[in-house]
């Protein structure tokens, strides 16, 4: 019997994969970084997704809408994940690097 080259099973690259890629491009991927004061969850925010003004805790200056920046919150907080997420802060990229 001849071999079939037809793929079997679900195909990758469907609508769910495309939505995930768009979300990742707009909101960045979540990563964990170690700093001298503990572990932090960090997520990049693209300029296209930045629609509000935030105050950077590193320098105290405003992060204007349309400015790429990042959001950070504790990954090892004692008060629980919900409290840590509620305490997240928006940082300038440079300010986070020198933190």
Over the chain (99 residues), the average pLDDT of each successive run of 10 is 67 55 63 93 94 97 97 90 92 96
Asked whether residue 74 is assigned to any structural domain, the reply reads yes
Q: What's the pTM value of the predicted model, to 2 decimals? A: 0.71
Asked whether residue 7 is assigned to any structural domain, the reply reads no
Element containing residue 38 per DSSP (H, E): strand 38-45
Separation CA 68–CA 90 (nearest Å): 10
**How many domains does the chain divide into?**
1
Asked whether residue 19 is assigned to any structural domain, the reply reads no
Separation CA 10–CA 36 (nearest Å): 45
Separation CA 18–CA 74 (nearest Å): 30
Q: Tell me how crowded residue 75 is: count the other CB atoms within 10 A of its CB.
A: 17
Domain span at residue 52 reads: 27-97
Separation CA 8–CA 10 (nearest Å): 7
Asked whether residue 65 is assigned to any structural domain, the reply reads yes
């Amino acid at each position: 019997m001849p071999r079939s080259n037809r793929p079997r099973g679900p195909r990758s690259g469907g609508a769910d994969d495309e939505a995930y890629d768009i979300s990742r491009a707009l909101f960045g991927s979540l990563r964990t970084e170690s700093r001298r004061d503990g572990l932090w969850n960090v997520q990049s925010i693209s300029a296209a997704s930045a629609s509000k003004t935030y105050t950077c805790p590193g320098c105290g200056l405003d992060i204007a809408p349309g400015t790429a920046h990042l959001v950070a919150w504790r990954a090892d907080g004692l008060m629980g994940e919900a409290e840590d997420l509620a305490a997240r802060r928006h940082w300038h990229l440079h300010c986070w690097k020198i933190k």
